[in-house]
Chain A
């Protein structure tokens, strides 16, 4: 038990620190490379710098993670995506309401998140006692559908519309890559974002070496993620065609037995 506690404090501290700094850096993207997720950014913005909203949003997912770790030993991804960043934000906002001086500050977020991470991970790993079943069910049945609609429907549509409003070029590329991303990756947001990136990049600086290499990188990204997700096979099969042997053997090369 003591070993688990010690390891958990170390892991939680490291995790919290890096998640906090990364989340704060997201507010400075793309000038500074951030670490987190667009959904984390969207959800943190949804709390509009209100400590109570940040705390309760994290709390809902905390119950969910607790249930999951008690049941299966896995934390869910929400620890890093939702609980640590939002609780750190809540803790900082109690002292200072100005988001520029708190949530957007990587140093403050890193230190507070390290403490929260260490406590949360140690607590979750050492408490095998179950939480009230009823609360866990409420959290899952209320938050999960809402977050799912937000991530799968609202975010793709809003990003897409923003791209269309941003000009003809962004709109075209965002529509193309957004649709492809929905097919290949299951969510259009990354594709739409890449479309805005290339469209605005060309608007502002033309077709130069940089925008061309970004386009090549995007095409490679689609080819590789399609291949590794088996999208190429599904595509051929859904058009009722035979999968060529060379493609099958190529897939088998990458399947580690």
Chain B
């Protein structure tokens, strides 16, 4: 890591459209291989337990239908949305689409090699990611890039920043709902961070954790 700041060029791999499919390809490779890890070693699927459970239902001899339909539809929706709004949602497209939907479709067709073999898993995942990234850039070329309009990006960024400010107070609120000691802890943490002129979210979490370690919450899940 060099300390002098090098300006990233707009047309370089890091920011240009042509770099995007490569980045998505790398992520697809990792996530698909994560599903391979889960199937072979029992750990390492990159998704929520509830969604992985759909794939597991198929692995345990049931139907892959739910996982396949859920993953594929999510993937489709996110590709359209991602190319229009400028941010591809990795949760729906890569983690659920490439990580759950595509493996489920392959397995339902009795194609087990990609999920059984690590190298092949990386390759198949990379190809899926490349294809997804390529489609998105193609749609962008047809729509956004031909126009001088910013399509309200500044409004979206402003709203994103505004919603971020809510997190600190929300954490204190839910800590107070969790238990009295945890609430007091997060309040103290938030106050200290506020006095230090830092965002209160971090202090609220640390305070809640410290008090929660000494005064455990009775799990009611």
Contacts and interface: CB of A to CB of B under 8 A. Distances in A.
Nearest to B75: A228
B205 A143 contact: yes
A112 to B, nearest CB: 8
A170 B155 contact: yes
Nearest to A101: B5
Interface string B153-179: 101101111111111101101110111
B124 interface: no
B208 interface: yes
A238 interface: no
Contacts, number: 379
A87 interface: no
Interface in A1-17: 3-4, 7-8, 10-12, 14-15, 17
Nearest to B176: A142
Interface string A208-251: 10100110011011001101110000000000000000000000
Contact of B73 (A44, A143, A229): A229
Interface of B: 1, 3, 5-6, 8, 10, 14-17, 19-20, 23-24, 26-27, 29-31, 33-34, 37-38, 41-49, 51-52, 63-65, 68-69, 72-73, 76-77, 80-91, 95, 104-105, 108, 118, 122, 136-137, 139-140, 142-144, 146-153, 155-156, 158-168, 170-171, 173-175, 177-179, 182, 186, 193, 198-199, 201-203, 205-206, 208-209, 212-213, 216-217, 219, 221
A180 interface: no
A170 B48 CA distance: 34
A35 B63 contact: no
B30 A213 contact: no
A46 B5 contact: no
A170 B177 CA distance: 37
Contacts of A77: 46-48, 91, 95
Chain B CB count within 10 A is highest, among A7, A30, A101, A124, for: A30
Nearest to B96: A77
Chain B CB count within 10 A is highest, among A53, A55, A121, A227, for: A53
Contact of A33 (B20, B46, B148, B166): B20
A210 B37 CA distance: 43
A213 B142 contact: yes
Contacts of A36: 87-90
B174 A73 contact: no
10 contacts: A10-B33, A34-B88, A36-B87, A105-B8, A110-B14, A142-B175, A142-B212, A197-B151, A204-B151, A208-B147
Contacts of B34: 11, 15, 75
Contacts of A255: 65, 69
A76 B209 CA distance: 20
B44 A146 contact: no
Nearest to B29: A14
Contacts of B179: 141
A95 B37 CA distance: 35
A162 B158 contact: yes
Interface string A157-179: 01101110010001000000000
Contact of A201 (B44, B149, B206): B149
A43 B209 contact: no
Given A125-B43, A225-B73, A33 B86 contact: yes
Interface in A177-220: 185, 190, 193-194, 196-197, 199-201, 204-205, 208, 210, 213-214, 217-218, 220
Contact of B202 (A50, A224, A225): A50
Contacts of A59: 205, 209
B160 A38 contact: yes
Contacts of B122: 10, 14
Nearest to B15: A32
B182 A142 contact: yes
Interface string A52-84: 111111011000000011011111110111000
User: Which 10 pairs from chain A and chain B are nearest by CB?
Assistant: A228-B73, A30-B86, A138-B212, A200-B152, A53-B202, A46-B164, A29-B86, A134-B216, A18-B27, A45-B164
Given A45-B160, A53-B201, A73 B42 contact: yes
A8 B37 contact: yes
B81 A221 contact: yes
